[in-house]
Structure 1
Amino acid sequence: MKRTESFRKNRSVTEPLAAGIVIGAVLLCIVLSYFGYLHNREAVRKAASTAAQAAAQVQNRPESQLEQELDDPFENYIQLSDPLLVLVNDRVPLPENWQVIPRMIDDEQVDLKMYGDLTAMFEAAGKEEVWFWVASGYRSVEEQTVILDRAVQENLDAGMEEKSAREEALKTIARPGYSEHHTGLAVDLNDVSDNFEETAAYRWLSEHAAEYGFVQRYEKDKVEITGIDNESWHYRYVGKKHAGEMKRLDMCLEEYVLYLKKKGIK
């Protein structure tokens, strides 16, 4: 009988206590949920604000800057008005209305626009007993086709599969219609060999070519941009002003034309 009364007394004490604990826990959950909601709402508001600011920045950004941020800034590329800066690469074909005024030098043709500076450069180098000759100048689309096909066949004969043979050839030879040689503003000099980089002629060009309006078109540290392996013998005429700037800025032609577009030059 005493044990039953003791049990009843303990239950009368513990039941309100337990109920209070449960109510307190429920209230705590409600409070925490409310503060969580406020925190999430603030986070969403900040995220929306940041997104709106980013959108405004993109909308106000110059078109030339947006162009540089595309995966391929040369898709639907519009040529600059200066013909000396005509861009021809694996993504940009020769303009349909392009015309070459040929002049002969070393049994090769080059465009009249660079003929004077090219011969002046050869003469200046000759006075220092450094000699140059043009191994390859202007090429028609048909000539480029023959050159590429020959290189592919050589790779096939060396045991390459057809796909690999073509890919290897395209590392140094542009597709017909996409070669700088079609412009008449590019020349391959002397032996057209990797050994050219070790010659006095190459060292002379590295120092003086820009003075006559020429730049090495395909350099080893620009391969990812140009898509062409290092060619120490391939020089492109861009005019003295542009050649000097490209050398100062350490830019290849792809970088330089985008740089000019960003400055608003058309």
Structure 2
Amino acid sequence: MTLPMNVGVYGGGRMGAGIAHAFLLAGSSVRIIEADDTAAAAASARVAASLTKAAERGTLNGPVEHVMDRLNVTTDPADLGACGLVVEAVPEVVDLKTRVLTRIEEFAPEAVLASNTSSLSVDQLAAELARPERFLGLHFFNPVPASELVEIVVGAKTPSELVARAQEWVTALGKTAITVTDAPGFASSRLGVAIALEAMRMLEDGVASAEDIDTAMTLGYKHPMGPLRTTDIVGLDVRLAIADHLAREVGERFQPPAILREKVAAGHLGRKTGQGFYGW
């Protein structure tokens, strides 16, 4: 199955811009919806910069300008009307995501809706939708252009036919899909956060430096990146929110350590602020 000709992305931050990049590379036209003109200009610039890097790596078919011709960044959700798929990519806040998803459904009633949530319940997000049978989770990973994985999250009302279509779409993007049921943290966040929290506790206890803890995983277990550096890239605030959610839903073993709360309170959120477990 080919990808939808028109794909919408609601939210043009780092993740949304990366998702737009992936669909543009695969040949779709993409409409990004942003909150205002300033955010829309920033989203367009993110995608252009990402595509320029792809061109430098030789992974872009054609000039950047030609690919950008298939991108429309706007503040009007009515522009989603022609989309066959719309991916929601706003921050991990249930109320915000629910409002955005119901808004998308209003303007794109025939589209498949997907949330890029990394840990929130797909069934909870679907509860306010008129057509939950057209909804599922598509969890992309940061940075989207380089990541090979997409986690498909299946809700209680997601039909098997839609799951099969989503698997084919992920393949068309040149990525690998894993399919999981709607459980707290799914597979990827639950495992990733568990390792990261233990790495933080080890750092807090003085077991080893951040660099040596990460090296234990990259060289000892062949992880491409250590859990503390990964946390810096994901964002310490994002990891804290997921850990708090998992602690509520799964149990005390996901309770965030003090070092994580202290760094977030100090504004040390990782790469995006220049300081986390590492200096950037």
Q: Which has the higher helix share?
A: 1
Ranked by relative contact order (alpha carbons within 8 Å, sequence separation 6 or more), the top structure is 1
Normalising to structure 1: TM-score of the pair? 0.24
Q: Which has the higher strand share?
A: 2
Q: Which has the larger radius of gyration?
A: 1
Normalising to structure 2: TM-score of the pair? 0.24
